[in-house]
Structure 1
Amino acid sequence: MTTPNDASRPLRVVLAGGGTAGHISPMLAIARALGRQDPSTVCTMVGTDSGMETRLVPQAGYELDFVERVPMPRRPSMDVVRFPGRFQASVRQAGEILRRRGADVLVGVGGYVSTPMYLAASRAGVPVVVHEANARPGLANRVGALRAARVGTALPDTRLPKAQWVGMPMRPEISGLDRAAARDAARAELGLDPERTTVVVTGGSSGALNVNRTVRESLDDLLGAGLQVFHLTGRGKELTDEAGQRVTRPGYVQREYLDGMEKAYAAADLIVARSGAGTVCEIAAVGLPAVFVPLPVGNGEQALNARPVVDAGGALLVRDETFRADWVRRELIPLATDPQRLAAMGEAAARLGVRDADVRTADLVREAAREGARR
């Protein structure tokens, strides 16, 4: 394995993660920050051949290597017998990638590929930097953090060895957003009234069935209160009426998907959203008041992700099964029509927001590489 002892030699960084945008977005943001700090830095990425990274990483201009996806079996089957051999093969793949790329440091953001990459890096003496997005760390990053040179977390209360709170690396279009300055242009682009208080509702790219249903049931109340609603329904989940026609109302705009969430953040006075780690951190960074409706399945990590912002007064938290039309009338509409309360919540959220997380994480990467070179 090469080491960056020669100051003229570019730093070579391998970043591992993928599967979902929650892994890929911070990985790309870290790589871009490293490139801004020193354009000679060489960043390559590792994922699986079936995740979103196969499209997003090449689009962003980075080379992508693949490691076989080997999930740990969760019930007795022949997969239990095959798992050790398949996993060791993936570790060998990972080691070959590190050798071929001449890695000076490995950055892992979690997901299936990170575990074999962490183990291969440990065997090869390549320093590891872990970035954990969620309040409750995944298995891969719990393993990686045990021997990592540096560990950064997106949220302040995440418990990992050596953890430093650095925030969530995000696109500069979001981290640098001035909501007030961008508001009029964003509302015009999204087909909204520039002067009307705006509630943005999103269930993420796949949508949220109950959230969408509640919006349909609450439209009369929301619009009657003088609000306008920009609703991202998720692909294939547009709101239709009894006749099967797309719902259109003055003051209500729906889209299945928006390329560039910074436009929605700029347009919004209040947002209703799931509380994935990326969403929570972006909303806090731009100082946007929020109602978080955590995903009702899984291990409860979305509620944990939202908790710091909620406890600081920057957001409300409501269970998915509680987010109904009566809750909208009782809680959401009074909040959305109270500008002083919205302003206070936005300020509280912004105090927890981290806008330079990409730079902070890039600094951890360079520190780890320097220490690795001295060993």
Structure 2
Amino acid sequence: MPCFRTCFASIFMALLATVALSENVSLVHGGDTYLSGGTITQSLDSTGDAFVSGRRIVTGGVSQGDLHVTGFDITINADTAQDLYAVGGTVVVRGKVSEDLTAAGFSLRTDPASETMGNARLIGNTITIEGPILGSLAAMGMDVIVNAPIKGDVRITANSLSFGSEAVIDGILTYSTEEKISVPERVAPDDRVIFEKLDLGDAWDEWEDVRKEMPVLPTFASMFFGFIVSLLFFVVLGALMLTFMPHRLERMRSSVAKAPGKSIVLGIVGLALLFGMVPITAMTIVGLPFVPIAILAIVLFWTLAYALGAYSIAMWVFAGLGGTKDPGAVVRLLVFAGAITLVALLNFIPFVGWVANYTLVLLGMGAMTNAIFQSLLGSPDVVLDVDMKPIKD
């Protein structure tokens, strides 16, 4: 289930990023390594997958499984025995990747010391490729510079494309730019070069073709399997939230319980800001490569909001039925799982299921929006006059 696995990894990295704003976290569980914090300069020695999140990250060592990294300033010196996933403002890859490399960033570069044994998928504003790639390459950005040997096929979409002295492409080069460029013979001969004029409308047409091929009425077996997978996913997500951010989760849940109307209004504001990122990012032209990241952010926050809303309502009902005020993490997780199951069953009721799900999203999004606003603006205190005394009416 590659799609489910990718979504889980992305949402988990979002959780780590949230924790990283306040405290450092280091955990080894089941062979996997989890790291988050403001500044991380650590050598990895993970026998399984590794998850790293922070503002500034410099990683060394080895990850025997997949390596997932997210942050603002990322330098990856670690060798990855399987796949490498990286998202950040500035991303530099210097380690060796034994399988595939997937990375996105405003400034993205693979160092000459790096080597990707599988395929590379890169998205960014400025992409500089200096590390050899033994598989294929797919890159999309404003400015793309290729200065490394690539064994497989290459597909590049860019505003400007250039080739350095070390660039050699053994496969077929397909590039999309506004105007045709002259590709040096040493990079790839003319019979292995395909030019496709860049047209932003093509992306929408391709999406429409994919959408039409999607099944409209899934079988009962597919629906049941999807239900089980979704339930397991949310249970794991709930366990992670209760483990890594219990106090912050409790504060957000309390804000929903105290003022549900306020949470719904703030949820509408939060969703408006999220969905507004897509056209605003696209209108800047420079931000076109980051439109997929904006869409991913919508999916991440929508999922987190849904889970938070369900958890908040479940705990409110649990307390109303006479449950303890401060139950343990296991009880909280069981209550959350029961709520997710009940809400999922409501989906089979036309209209009612949609209203219930959307309300949960608004409640959860409102709690997160409120928490973000408070962290940015701070908590207002008693108003003081010039003599530093409380002002009386």
Answer 1 or 2: higher relative contact order, Cα 8 Å, separation at least 6. 1
With structure 1 as the length reference, what TM-score do the two structures score? Answer: 0.24
With structure 2 as the length reference, what TM-score do the two structures score? Answer: 0.23
